Amino acid sequence: MTVADESVAAMFRLGEQFQRNSLQALQTLGELGDLPVGLSEKLCVHREDKINLYRYVPIARSAGLPPLLICYAMVNRPYVLDLQPDRSLIRELLSLGIDVYLLDWGYPDGADRFTGLHEYVLGYLHRCVEQILNAHAAESLNLLGVCQGGTLGLCYAALEPRRIANLVTMVTPVDFKTPENLLSKWVQQIDIDLMTQAGNVSGELLNVAYLGLMPFRLTQQKYAELAGMAGDRARLENFARMEKWIFDSPDQPARAFAEFVKWLFQENRLINGSFELGGRPVSLKRILQPVLNIYAARDHLVPPSASVALGAHIGSTEYSELAVDVGHIGMYVSARARTTVSGAIAHWLGERAEARGKARER
Amino acid sequence: MTNESGSAAFVEAWQTLAQSMGVRLPALGPAREHLEMAQKMSDLGLEFQRSYAEFSAHLSGIQEQAMRTAQKPDIGAAYDEWIESAEAAYATLAHGATFSRLLAEMINTLSAMKVQRGKLLEYFSRQLDLPTRSEVDSLHQQVRLLREQLRERGATQGGAKRGAPRRSDPRRSGK
């Protein structure tokens, strides 16, 4: 047999091995069924239309901090923050003694078609904040806004600054027109009014857009890598949970989606100071409370440049940044990011509470 | 030959003649409204096919470009290298103005098709006395308005007072 023949034979052997491993992995995936997600124990404390406000059951001694409300994005489901017990940012925060609430926007349908962005921020989000403040007899709470939820959180903090003690933003777009922002480039010439005239925007369409950001990695390489997971049930379970989450995308309420895309992506109103919600100006300069801005250094969805713009536009003098060397989704689920982020949030909130206590004593 | 089939043959003859002359006949007569909608839908379908073809053509060189840069002898490494090269070639295109323009053209046409499809469905639903999208929308708007009024009334009557949660915990109360 010549060297060339041996090479060809080796290639065939590798091909067969790849095929066997892939089939084995696919068979295991098929046997896994619907894996449970969002396992940390929680109680629904407020329900209105599609939204649910959850309070998580504590698992550690209280750190004595104001309650932390997590405002997640509307475009994906929030259980990615509590995917499984050993991959849960929420669980990490609970273990540090933080009292965690989560706002879940649910699955909007035709009845939400005409619900505007102001109703989400000044209606639903505001009523959740009020609910928590009432339950704790408190004047203000800590807000953690994640991704699009961070943008909504910034709007709320700018409109109702007294109710937010400290604001944490995570992978949050602020400047929607930085050169690295591919999604933004794509939507500039899209007729959003026409798109939403036909009703809510389907989650499937949004998924196609996300996959289109890195199509070869996300539609080919990711699945080719399954062969390497053959026989490793735990890794395949992780894969299955992520796969479930990635494609579990709620439809977007037509009016709110149109306003978000037009006012922020196309007109960049948050940055140029022309943003209004419910007839009230949303000025980032009104955000005077301490802000911790956490972003992913390798984010392909919300580029770092879109997030770090926040520092230059808020009124607060207490502004900190934390860059984590992960991608957008890695920020929620990678082990390194989870511990770094939860630790940083708890530490930063603790410092702010201490500083506030000292200021009161004076 | 009945009157009906005679007029159909007449219309068909006109259409054939018009087509051969490159003239497009407008929808006429009692069925004008829905024929026009169907015609527009068909035009949009053709427009979508054209924009999709142009968009696909714009992307056609990526795989070839990626293959040219793949060098590694090991299959697995070569595959990963090919993916990286393909992503890099794609990113160059995807950030370009032409890509955004073609994508927008395609999506805008698709949106127009969905709007047109809605109009057709609305028309046929009315014929069958089925609830239409616009009727459901109108009801939603009315419910929203009523809720806003109710909330405003509640707020003025002190329902939004601090310390008085507006709703009980549905799980605890068994609602």
Instruction: Give CA A309 to chain center in angstroms.
Output: 18
Which range, of A23-32, A111-120, A269-278, A331-340, averages the lowest pLDDT?
Answer: A331-340
Closest-CA distance, A221 to chain B, in angstroms, reads: 7
Complex-level ipTM? 0.88
First-to-last CA distance in chain A?
88
A141-146 and A68-71 strand pairing:
parallel
* CB–CB contact A11 B101 (8 Å): no
B15: nearest Cα among B1, B2, B26, B3: B26
* 85-144 in chain A: CB under 8 A from chain B: 110-111, 113-115, 127, 130-131, 133-135, 137
Question: Are B87 and A214 within 8 A, CB to CB?
Answer: yes
Mean pLDDT of A282-295: 97
**Whose CA is closest to A20, among A273, A261, A307, A226?**
A226
* pLDDT band for position B110 (cuts 50, 70, 90): very high
Task: In whole angstroms, give the CA distance from residue A155 to residue B29.
Answer: 54
Residue of A nearest to B97 (CA): A185
Catalytic residues of A: 147
* A150-183 confidence digits (pLDDT tens): 999 999 999 999 999 999 999 999 999 999 999 9
Q: Is the pLDDT higher at A90 or at A5?
A: A90
State whether A191 and B144 contact (CB < 8 Å): no
Question: Which one of B87, B108, B143 has the shortest CB-CB distance to A216?
Answer: B87
Nearest to A148 by CA among A231, A257, A75, A207: A75
Query: DSSP 3-state assignment of A143?
Result: strand
Intra-chain end-to-end CA distance of chain B, in Å: 69
Read off the pLDDT band of B25 (50, 70, 90): low
Q: How far apart are CA A110 and CA B140, in angstroms?
A: 8
Q: Nearest chain B residue to A187 by CA: give it.
A: B104
What residues 172-191 of chain A have any CB closer than 8 A to a CB of chain B?
182, 185-186, 188-191
Helices marked H in A230-334: 233-246, 254-259, 269-272, 304-308, 310-313, 330-333
Question: Residue A56: what are its φ and ψ, rounded to 5°?
Answer: -85, 145
Buried b (16+ CB within 10 A) or exposed e, B31-66: eeeeeebeebbeebeebbeebeeebeebeeebeeeb
State whether B137 and A113 contact (CB < 8 Å).
yes
3-state secondary structure B56-76: HHHHCCHHHHHHHHCCCCCHH
pLDDT in tens, A104-144: 999 999 999 999 999 999 999 999 999 999 999 999 999 99
Q: Which residue from B107, B144, B169 is facing A114, i.e. has the nearest CB?
A: B144
Q: Which residue has the higher pLDDT, A68 or B168?
A: A68
Q: Which residues of A touch B169 (CB under 8 A)?
A: 43-46
Q: What percent of chain A has pLDDT over 70?
A: 100
How many Cβ pairs closer than 8 A exist between chain A and B?
99
Q: Is the pLDDT of residue B175 over 80?
A: no
The answer, for B169 touching chain A at a CB cutoff of 8 Å, is yes
B76, B100, B140: residue with CB nearest A111: B140
DSSP string, B75-111: HHHHHHHHHHHHHHHHHHHHTSHHHHHHHHHHHHHHH
pLDDT of residue B4: 62
Q: How far apart are CA B138 and CA A61, in angstroms?
A: 51
Interface test with B, best of A178, A194, A220, A265 (most B CBs within 10 A): A194
**A69 pLDDT more than 60:** yes
Calpha distance A239→A255 (Å, rounded): 34
pLDDT at B163 over 50: no
Q: Is the pLDDT of residue B29 over 60?
A: yes
Q: What integer is the mean pLDDT of B90-103?
A: 96
Verdict on whether the full-model pTM lies above 0.90? no
Shortest Cα–Cα distance, A259 to chain B (Å) = 17
Of A14, A198, A221, nearest to B83 by CB-CB distance is A221
A130 or A86, which is more confident? A130
* Mean pLDDT of the residues in chain A: 94
| pLDDT, position B162 | 45
CA distance A317 to A294: 17
| pLDDT value for B174 | 33
The candidate with the shortest Cα–Cα distance to A293, out of A275, A276, A318, is A318
Q: Tell me the two tokens of residue B83.
A: 């993916």
Query: A150 near A175, Cβ under 8 Å?
Result: no
Task: Look up tokens 């890794």; give the residue.
Answer: A235
Helix (H) or strand (E) holding B117: helix B97-127
Residue B159 has pLDDT above 60, yes or no: no
- CA–CA distance, A326 with A192 (Å, rounded to integer): 32
Per-residue confidence (pLDDT) for residue B3, from 0 to 100: 64
